[in-house]
Structure 1
Amino acid sequence: MSSFRIVLNFQAGLGVLANMFLLVFYAFIILHHRPKPTDMISCQLSFIHIVLLLTGVDVWLWDICDALNINNDFKCKTSFYISRVMRGLSICITCLLSVFQAVTIIPSTSFLAKFKYKLKKYMISVFLFIWSFNLSFTSYRIIYSGAFTNVSETNQMKVTKFCSIFSMNYIIRALILTVTTSRDVFLVGLMLATSAYMVLILFRHQRQHKYLHRLSHLRASPEKRATQTILLLVVFFVVMYWVDFIISHIAVLLQMYDPVTLSVQKFVMNVYPTISPLVQISSDDRIINMLKHMQSLCHHIFKTR
């Protein structure tokens, strides 16, 4: 397990660094330039993924808590709550990014074009609703999780070495499962629908202009590249989400959360927040141009010396 823990720490470290780079970049764009609406969404997604990765690595979190002399019960409740909130926010914000990009490329002649301006107008309200819903709905984690004890072991399911999930009333559990599943299925379905729409738009655009393109115009437009990037992120998210969903629900149904299952689930859950910033960095012209400029500047400085 020590080797797998090294893999998890490397994965989390790479993801945190990549997301911090994106967070600083988008924050600078938002504060000093005229940002695109997708920049605001991506900035939030980077912050969410940083927190998700940090709370997903027990070593870092527990070492910090031990240094601050925080008791185990508070550690468990906090880590469970923040982790589930960030997971919910990740799927919501990723869905919002997909929807907004689909709305962005809607032809001006389409009857759906009016949604472009409405979505921009109510963007802040959408953000507030998403954060409020996830922060309030996930509060049940504070009640039904805590430090593992040897007393009444039948009423708790050990998840980590120190933490466990307590049993809850059948009605409450069914209600939480229904709301969570309904939310996730709706958002994943919406992502798939907007992705299919974007693929259709790109296909039509390519077919209409395939005879008009010259060698100088073979390079994809920024809008097309942004759409392709978001399509890749959505497909990747959906695949990783369902793998995580299957693993977690099998573990809950079997009442078995052994260290191997937990480690595999953490690895799968952290794949998307680790890979997504790397995909965004490699496909954003502004970042690529900035890095090229920094490279040429450093080369010039060393050359003059």
Structure 2
Amino acid sequence: MAVYKCILYQAGIGISANTFLFLSHIPSILLDRQPKPTDLTTCHLALVHIAFLTTVLFLLSPDLFESLNVWNDFKCKALFYINRVMKGLSIFTTCLMSIIQAITMSPHTSQLAQFKYKCTHFIFYLFFFIWLVCLSFSTTTLFHTVATSNVTQTNLMALIQYCSFSPIMPGIMGLMFTLTTSRDVFLVGVMLLSSVYMVILLLRHQRRSQHLHSTSLSPRSSPEKRATQTILLLVSFFVVMYWVDFIISSSSLILWTYDSVIVGVQCVVVNVYATVSPLVLISSDKRILNFLHNMSWKTFWF
């Protein structure tokens, strides 16, 4: 019970932080004629995490679950489907952020430099593509998620108090597992490659700075370095949390069993990235920090 209370508090903090992050980027997107791709992806990631954590609240809080005045079977299918879609969008968007940051900091002599001014034009097409992929990959959830009270089968895998998974044909389960795992491994691989590329660029820049006997970066390169370090931190954190979740969920599917402790631990692991990522992005965004600093001074004086 204590674990589930912790998860609910975790989800509440994550929703609040992501909402603040989302709202803080809206003015720059609406007022700029050509919004930065980093602002668009940050907003998209925050919105995805808000939806993801909201489904967690409804699934784990009996009062919120019962407040939805529709059939339990429909609620289970809808909430788990949205949860799975948002989870897929999270990994896609994080991967996209790492690629965009790698392109942004690439030198003018690099082949990636030609994409610097084209990112904004293609970003909405990429969003449409990743939404389409995630919506398609999660369709099996609609068929195999059921309300526990509506089914008399004894071989259900209980997920939460009200919802369970019905048995899946081994062939279909193997196919979906292979496709989903291949997709995620590919995206994680792209994240790691872009991260290695950014680390190499940072080391080159540091070496060049030392060669020029300068301990400080230029005003233009300093924000890029902070943004790159933030993305590297997020990618590293995401990869660790992803593989822990992958091991737990794969073991549960193979053994076809989920007890309350496993569900609780997996929920904490899955929710950590959605909760921590907005805090990391907020703490590294100079515009937001300046805004909070100004607000604190105004509150102090008035």
The alignment status of 1:6 with 2:5, answered yes or no, reads yes
Q: 1:61 to 1:126 in 2, by over 3 A?
A: farther
SS of aligned partner of 1:164: strand
Scaled by the length of structure 1, what TM-score is found? 0.93
Matched residue, 2:161:
161
2-side partners of 1:282 and 1:210: how far apart?
28
Shift of 1:69: 2.3
2-side partners of 1:274 and 1:63: how far apart?
22
Retained in 1: the 8 A contact 2:68–2:75?
no
Matched residue, 2:23:
24
Matched residue, 1:300:
301
Matched residue, 1:264:
265
Shift of 1:10: 1.4
Q: 1:268 to 1:37 in 2, by over 3 A?
A: same
Retained in 1: the 8 A contact 2:144–2:166?
yes
1-side partners of 2:213 and 2:301: how far apart?
37
Q: Which structure 2 residues correspond to residues 54-69 of structure 1 after superposition, within 5 A?
A: 54-58=54-58, 62-69=62-69
2-side partners of 1:213 and 1:274: how far apart?
40
CA RMSD of aligned residues (A): 1.8
For residue 77 of structure 1, what is the amino acid of its counterpart? K
For residue 2 of structure 2, what is the amino acid of its counterpart? S
For residue 182 of structure 1, what is the amino acid of its counterpart? S
Shift of 1:228: 0.4
Matched residue, 1:234:
235
Structure 1 unaligned residues grouped into runs of 5+:
none
Q: Which structure 2 residues correspond to residues 151-190 of structure 1 after superposition, within 5 A?
A: 151-154=152-155, 156-190=156-190
The alignment status of 1:207 with 2:207, answered yes or no, reads yes
Shift of 1:209: 0.9
Structure 2 unaligned residues grouped into runs of 5+:
none
SS of aligned partner of 1:69: coil
Shift of 1:65: 4.0
Retained in 2: the 8 A contact 1:54–1:61?
no
Scaled by the length of structure 2, what TM-score is found? 0.93
Runs (4+) of structure 1 moved beyond 4 Å? 58-62, 213-220
Higher mean alpha-carbon deviation, 63-72 vs 261-270, is at 63-72
Matched residue, 1:195:
195
2-side partners of 1:166 and 1:115: how far apart?
46
Retained in 1: the 8 A contact 2:36–2:120?
no
Matched residue, 1:248:
249
Shift of 1:216: 6.0
For residue 283 of structure 2, what is the amino acid of its counterpart? S
